């Protein structure tokens, strides 16, 4: 695995995306094809299925390191990464590794049907053959979460450079359901006749947050406005009278939303729609929370389908009558989309209506009222733009509503993971209710590194009690918490659940007693 | 009454009425070494190893009242016997042995068990009670041999030199800077030192405690192409660094062992090299001291004390006003 370890090190040791692309190209130059293919798979989140659970991994690692399990666990909470903790705790390897990447991936996969004893012997033998970084990578193959700062974009750029292909083409080829078992490098990157091309989604076009005055985007009539629906992004494919639904995370979620099967009811075939999946009952869009109860379920009960029926609000079309039409302008694509939607059953399908507007003030006002439409803001699209691959500047903007905010007191702190390892970065926040503090949200992000450092020093000096990795601290620091939505919840002590809570700022100017109350919070319901 | 107790001024010996590495102003302070979380300003009298005298004067001011003692030399204060022993942390660093009526305590200060070739190597001092630092008191910290790290640092500098890039190495100005400098092979590239490091080197050169020379980095003297700069990490925020595109930056610290802390620095390279003992070093030091009671401080003291208890020792902790050495300085 030496070549792959070298690649990992080069990628891990630079922040420059040019150097990352170059490191990948250099690797593709020397790696054998199967290794290269697995590398592409790993960097596009296609890791092998988990064959060993992490609980036993911890036990074996502690045993091999000759330390008690609690000490291993404590170390893990500080390092913030299981694969890394294991690789650092173990004694130096006694054997040499001369195998390639594929060998080790297959090694991990071959554990699937073995007994626990056999698994243990194979894993510990692997640990004894690999040096620290290689061990870390092997552990990552097992535990997942393989993140080394290589985005899909980076891998696409590298492959395009290596094979002299267009980036958009490579990006498309890497989408959908493929694995190193079903494809070789040739068929993945160059073949167009594969049967699975039917299910292959297009790369999503992504919007930039609006970071300038809306008036500066151009003339009013060069832009298209629509609501930014509060659901999950979906790509619906109908080809050869079969249908497929993909999530933005490139997960095939066809089975989770059986209601969209009605896309087969019409004669028109071979088209691909981009839109938002939401819950709509009796013509009314429901809260995101209701959709959440559907997202995770692979088998949807009849009752669930009845209570929380899904709908698809279409806003774009990438393929029409079997032709890739992404190069057409927004307006021209809409001309194909609108009549197509009228053919589809209107209970499940609708068009994301264009907001007609006559002035900038008008659009600002409509945005303010977005919540009443169950939208989270406004989307702005350049009428002349083709459908982009990924996030490109100057075509699509999202103009979200300002989040809700509340001032809350920090009550508990826990160390973070990844690059926040060893810093207290995960906090539990509370609001006042009749003189006592009621926890209502956890938040991880929103502070600068310097602020995390400062709060970490404070937590270290002011810990009251330790519950495993969690520390309780005095009610002292107030933070402004921002969130996207709030709903009633029976599962939470506070009686409310927040959507995407994060820290907006540290309120050094406020004392704990000046934080908001549970009543203030519930007013936002 | 205990021979030593932890007070809000720092570690205190009531019988002798002296403090060890106190963080608030006191009458008489025994100092293990010259780092700023151990040698604080404002005490009336300082007592430290002879090699630390010039360092203390350089850092705390010429006017301080400081007395130097040699290794193993005994100082008696009101019946309590104090002596200083090599800690191997940085030049002049000591463990302090305290004996009274047959009871012996050792305060390790900061220490490492590896010989770095620059400072006097660590020596085992037996005692009944050991107050040990544990900055890296977790089993995930284990240091590689210094030669191996040196090889990697030299290879990295050479590669940068060949690419016409300047190697910028971040290291503490006292201790790590000299250690790294001594590890650099002669002739790879011209070595520049940040003024803070340069001045520290001058003090040590005068005392014949260090012999490598460098060019002091300033507005008229800086590498235009290639070269090596040794600087404290605060230098990374300077305009010169921010504007310079032909730079490769590396941090040399034990914290570079953890990927998270390494990534957080946003640097090109992290070399794992520490002036503190690693997990095995700490355990070896505890074992060889023959201490029955181990008080952990400066670091992951809870974890380390608990583990000592499991080893059959009496494990305890002292909190300090300082968090020990952290990477984010």
For residue A513, pLDDT over 50 is answered with yes
Dihedral of alpha carbons A37, A42, A44, A49, sign: positive
Q: How confident is the model at residue B322 (pLDDT cuts 50, 70, 90)?
A: low
Average pLDDT over residues A115-138: 94
Most B CBs within 10 Å: which of A419, A460, A467, as the mutation test of the B interface?
A419
Dihedral of alpha carbons B231, B235, B240, B243, sign: positive
B142 to chain A: closest CA residue: A88
- A234-243: pLDDT as tens digits: 999 999 999 9
> For chain B, which residues make up each domain, given as ranges?
5-140+276-317, 146-271
Architecture of domain A2-143: Orthogonal Bundle (1.10)
For residue A308, pLDDT over 80 is answered with yes
* Domains B5-140+276-317 and B146-271 belong to one CATH topology: no
* pLDDT recorded at residue B327: 47
Average pLDDT over residues A380-387: 96
Q: How confident is the model at residue A86 (pLDDT cuts 50, 70, 90)?
A: very high
Contact B91, B278 (CB under 8 A): no
A421 CB neighbours in chain B (<8 A) are: 258-261
Average pLDDT over residues A441-458: 89
What whole-number distance in Å separates Cα of residue A492 and Cα of residue A270? 46
Give the distance from residue B258's alpha carbon to the nearest chain A alpha carbon, in angstroms.
7
Most B CBs within 10 Å: which of A77, A79, A424, as the mutation test of the B interface?
A79
Q: What residues does A521 pair with on adjacent strands?
A: none
SS3 state of residue B168: strand
Range name among A342-351, B263-272, B319-328 with the lowest pLDDT average? B319-328
Residue that has been written with the tokens 């907006």 in this structure:
A504
B329 to chain A: closest CA residue: A453
Contact A325, A319 (CB under 8 A): yes
Q: Are strands B103-107 and B129-134 parallel, antiparallel or unpaired?
A: parallel
A418 contacts B140? CB cut-off 8 A: no
Tokens of A508: 């050094």
* pLDDT recorded at residue B297: 93
User: Least CB-CB distance to A88: which of B257, B310, B328?
Assistant: B257
For residue B32, pLDDT over 90 is answered with yes
B259 contacts A13? CB cut-off 8 A: no
- A187-239: pLDDT as tens digits: 888 876 655 678 889 999 999 999 899 999 989 999 999 999 999 999 999 99
- B7-25: pLDDT as tens digits: 989 999 999 999 999 999 9
Interface A:B, Cβ pairs < 8 A: 69
Q: Of A117-126, A135-144, A161-170, give the range with the top mean pLDDT.
A: A117-126
Q: What is the CA radius of gyration of chain A?
A: 26
What whole-number distance in Å separates Cα of residue A292 and Cα of residue A284? 17
Expressed in angstroms, the distance from the first to the final Cα of chain B is: 38
What share of residues in chain B are helix, strand, coil (percent, to 5)?
A: 25, 25, 45
A67 contacts B139? CB cut-off 8 A: yes
Alpha carbons within 13 angstroms on the beta-carbon side of residue A136 total 22
Residue of A449 and B70 predicted with greater confidence: B70
For residue A148, pLDDT over 80 is answered with no
What whole-number distance in Å separates Cα of residue A407 and Cα of residue B9? 37
B159 CB neighbours in chain A (<8 A) are: none
- B164-222: pLDDT as tens digits: 999 999 999 999 999 999 999 999 999 999 999 999 999 999 999 999 999 999 999 99
What whole-number distance in Å separates Cα of residue B161 and Cα of residue B228? 8
User: Least CB-CB distance to A419: which of B138, B263, B307?
Assistant: B263
User: Least CB-CB distance to B303: which of A71, A81, A85?
Assistant: A71
For residue A468, pLDDT over 80 is answered with no
Can you list the positions of beta strands (E) in chain B?
Answer: 5-7, 10-13, 18-20, 28-30, 45-49, 66-69, 74-77, 80-86, 94-100, 103-107, 129-134, 166-170, 191-193, 215-216, 228-231, 247-252, 269-271, 293-299, 314-317
B261 CB neighbours in chain A (<8 A) are: 421-422
* pLDDT recorded at residue A194: 53
- DSSP conformation letters of B203-258: HHHHTTS-----EEPSSS---SSS-EEEE-GGGGGSHHHHH-SSEEEEEESGGGGS
Is CATH 3.30.470.30 correct for A205-400?
yes
Q: How confident is the model at residue B137 (pLDDT cuts 50, 70, 90)?
A: very high
For residue A69, pLDDT over 80 is answered with yes
* pLDDT recorded at residue B155: 96
Most B CBs within 10 Å: which of A65, A75, A81, A448, as the mutation test of the B interface?
A75
B307 contacts A75? CB cut-off 8 A: no
* pLDDT recorded at residue A147: 74
Phi, psi of A422 (to 5 degrees): 70, 5
SS3 state of residue A114: coil
B310 CB neighbours in chain A (<8 A) are: 68
A15 CB neighbours in chain B (<8 A) are: 266, 268
> For chain A, which residues make up each domain, given as ranges?
2-143, 205-400, 404-523
* pLDDT recorded at residue A485: 84
* pLDDT recorded at residue B328: 41
Q: How confident is the model at residue B252 (pLDDT cuts 50, 70, 90)?
A: very high
Range name among A279-288, A413-422, A431-440, B254-263 with the lowest pLDDT average? A413-422
B264 to chain A: closest CA residue: A419
Architecture of domain A404-523: Beta Barrel (2.40)
- CATH classification number, B146-271, choose in 3.90.480.20, 3.40.50.150, 3.40.50.10890, 3.40.50.300: 3.40.50.10890
What whole-number distance in Å separates Cα of residue B18 and Cα of residue B5? 11
Tokens of A289: 């929370």
What whole-number distance in Å separates Cα of residue B67 and Cα of residue B75? 11
* pLDDT recorded at residue A195: 56
B302 to chain A: closest CA residue: A74
- DSSP conformation letters of A375-431: EEEEEEEETTPPPPSEE-TTTEEEEEPPPEEEEEEEEEEEEB-GGGBTSEEEEEEEE
A14 CB neighbours in chain B (<8 A) are: 268
Average pLDDT over residues A438-460: 89
Percent of chain A with pLDDT over 70: 99
Give the distance from residue A460's alpha carbon to the nearest chain B alpha carbon, in angstroms.
8
- B75-134: pLDDT as tens digits: 999 999 999 999 999 999 999 999 999 999 999 999 999 999 999 999 999 999 999 999
Instruction: List residues of B whose CB lies inside 8 A of any A CB.
Output: 138-142, 257-261, 263-264, 266, 268-269, 300, 302-303, 306-307, 310, 319, 323, 328
* pLDDT recorded at residue A196: 62
A88 to chain B: closest CA residue: B140
User: Least CB-CB distance to A89: which of B140, B264, B300?
Assistant: B140
Instruction: List residues of A whose CB lies inside 8 A of any B CB.
Output: 12-15, 65, 67-68, 70-72, 74-75, 78-81, 84-85, 88-89, 149, 416-423, 449, 453, 457, 460-461, 466
Average pLDDT over residues A498-508: 92
What whole-number distance in Å separates Cα of residue A228 and Cα of residue A355? 11
Average pLDDT over residues A356-367: 90
Residue of B142 and A252 predicted with greater confidence: B142
B138 contacts A74? CB cut-off 8 A: yes
Percent of chain B with pLDDT over 90: 88
User: Least CB-CB distance to B266: which of A15, A68, A422?
Assistant: A15
* pLDDT recorded at residue A27: 97
User: Least CB-CB distance to A13: which of B257, B258, B268?
Assistant: B268
Expressed in angstroms, the distance from the first to the final Cα of chain A is: 54
Q: How confident is the model at residue A423 (pLDDT cuts 50, 70, 90)?
A: confident
Give the distance from residue A285's alpha carbon to the nearest chain B alpha carbon, in angstroms.
42
Q: How confident is the model at residue A29 (pLDDT cuts 50, 70, 90)?
A: very high
Q: How confident is the model at residue B324 (pLDDT cuts 50, 70, 90)?
A: very low
Phi, psi of A380 (to 5 degrees): -120, 125
Is CATH 3.50.20.10 correct for B5-140+276-317?
no
Contact B31, B21 (CB under 8 A): yes
CB-count burial class (<10 Å; 0-12, 13-18, 19+) for A282: exposed
């Amino acid at each position: 695995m030496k070549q792959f370890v070298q690649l990992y090190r080069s990628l891990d040791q630079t922040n420059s995306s040019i150097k990352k692309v170059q490191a990948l190209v250099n690797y593709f130059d020397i790696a054998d094809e199967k290794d290269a293919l697995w590398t592409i798979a790993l960097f596009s989140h296609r890791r092998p299925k988990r064959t060993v659970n992490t609980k036993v991994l911890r036990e074996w690692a502690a045993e091999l390191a000759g330390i008690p399990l609690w000490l291993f666990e404590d170390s893990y909470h500080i390092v913030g990464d299981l694969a890394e903790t294991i690789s650092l705790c173990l004694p130096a390897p006694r054997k040499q590794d001369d195998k390639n990447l594929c060998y080790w991936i297959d090694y991990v996969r071959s554990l699937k049907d073995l007994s626990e004893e056999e698994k243990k012997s194979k894993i510990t033998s692997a640990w004894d053959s690999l040096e620290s970084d290689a061990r870390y990578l092997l552990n990552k193959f097992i535990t997942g979460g393989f993140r080394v700062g290589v985005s899909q974009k980076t891998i696409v750029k590298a492959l395009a450079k290596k094979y002299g292909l267009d980036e958009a083409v490579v990006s498309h080829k890497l989408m959908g359901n493929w694995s190193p078992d079903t494809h070789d490098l040739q068929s993945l990157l160059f073949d167009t006749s594969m049967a699975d091309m039917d299910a292959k989604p297009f790369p999503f076009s992504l919007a930039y947050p609006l970071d300038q005055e809306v008036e500066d985007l151009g003339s009013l009539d060069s832009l298209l406005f629509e609501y930014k629906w509060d659901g999950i992004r979906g790509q619906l494919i109908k080809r050869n009278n079969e249908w497929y639904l993909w999530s933005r995370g490139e997960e095939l979620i066809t089975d989770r939303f059986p209601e969209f099967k009605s896309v087969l009811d019409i004669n028109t075939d071979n088209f691909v729609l981009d839109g938002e999946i939401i819950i709509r009952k009796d013509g009314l869009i429901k809260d995101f929370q209701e959709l959440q109860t559907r997202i995770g379920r692979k088998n949807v009960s009849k009752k669930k389908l009845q209570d929380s029926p899904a709908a698809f609000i279409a806003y774009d079309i990438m393929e029409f009558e079997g032709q890739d039409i992404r190069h057409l302008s927004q307006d021209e694509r809409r001309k194909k989309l609108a009549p197509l939607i009228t053919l589809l059953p209107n209970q499940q399908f609708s068009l994301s209506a264009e907001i007609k507007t006559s002035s900038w003030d008008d659009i600002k006002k409509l945005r303010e009222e977005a919540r009443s439409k169950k939208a989270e803001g406004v989307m702005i699209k350049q009428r002349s733009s083709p459908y982009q691959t990924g996030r490109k500047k100057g075509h699509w903007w999202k103009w979200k509503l300002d989040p809700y905010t509340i001032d809350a007191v920090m009550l508990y702190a826990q160390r973070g993971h990844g690059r926040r390892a060893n810093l207290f970065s995960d906090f539990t926040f509370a609001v006042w209710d009749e003189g006592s503090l009621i926890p209502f949200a956890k938040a991880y992000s929103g502070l600068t590194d310097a602020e995390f450092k400062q709060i970490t020093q404070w937590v270290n000096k002011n810990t009251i009690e330790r519950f495993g990795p969690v520390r309780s601290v005095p009610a002292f620091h107030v933070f402004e918490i921002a969130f996207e939505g709030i709903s009633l919840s029976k599962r939470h002590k506070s009686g409310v659940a927040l959507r995407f809570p994060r820290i907006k700022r540290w309120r050094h100017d406020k004392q704990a007693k000046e934080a908001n109350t549970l009543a203030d919070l519930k007013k936002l319901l | 009454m205990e021979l030593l107790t932890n007070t809000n001024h720092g570690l205190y010996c009531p019988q002798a009425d002296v403090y060890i590495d106190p963080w608030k102003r006191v009458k008489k302070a025994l100092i293990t070494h010259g780092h700023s979380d151990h040698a604080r300003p404002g005490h009336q009298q300082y007592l430290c190893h002879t090699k630390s005298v010039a360092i203390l004067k350089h850092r705390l001011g010429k006017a301080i009242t400081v007395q130097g003692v040699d290794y193993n030399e005994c100082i008696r204060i009101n019946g309590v016997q104090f002596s200083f022993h090599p800690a191997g942390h940085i030049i002049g660093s000591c463990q302090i042995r305290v004996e009274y009526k047959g009871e012996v305590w050792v305060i390790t200060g900061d220490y490492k068990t590896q010989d770095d070739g620059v400072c006097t190597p660590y020596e085992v001092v037996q005692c009944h009670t050991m107050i040990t630092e544990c900055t890296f008191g977790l089993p995930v910290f284990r240091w590689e041999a210094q030669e191996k790290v040196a090889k990697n640092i030299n290879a990295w500098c050479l590669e940068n030199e060949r690419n016409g890039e300047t190697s910028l190495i971040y290291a503490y100005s006292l201790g790590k800077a000299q250690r790294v400098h001594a590890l650099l092979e002669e002739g790879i590239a011209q070595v520049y030192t940040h003024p803070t490091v340069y001045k520290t080197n001058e003090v040590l050169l005068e005392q014949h405690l260090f012999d490598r020379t460098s060019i002091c980095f300033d507005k008229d003297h800086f590498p235009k192409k290639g070269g090596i700069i040794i600087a404290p990490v605060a230098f990374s925020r300077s305009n010169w660094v921010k504007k310079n595109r032909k730079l490769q930056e590396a941090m040399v610290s034990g914290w570079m062992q953890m990927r998270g802390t390494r990534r957080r620095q946003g640097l090109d390279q992290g070399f794992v090299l520490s002036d503190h003992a690693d997990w095995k070093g700490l355990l070896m030091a505890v074992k060889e001291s023959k201490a029955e009671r181990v008080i952990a401080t400066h670091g992951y003291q809870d974890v380390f004390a608990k583990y000592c208890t499991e080893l059959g020792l009496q494990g305890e902790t002292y909190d300090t006003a300082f968090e020990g050495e952290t990477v984010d300085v």
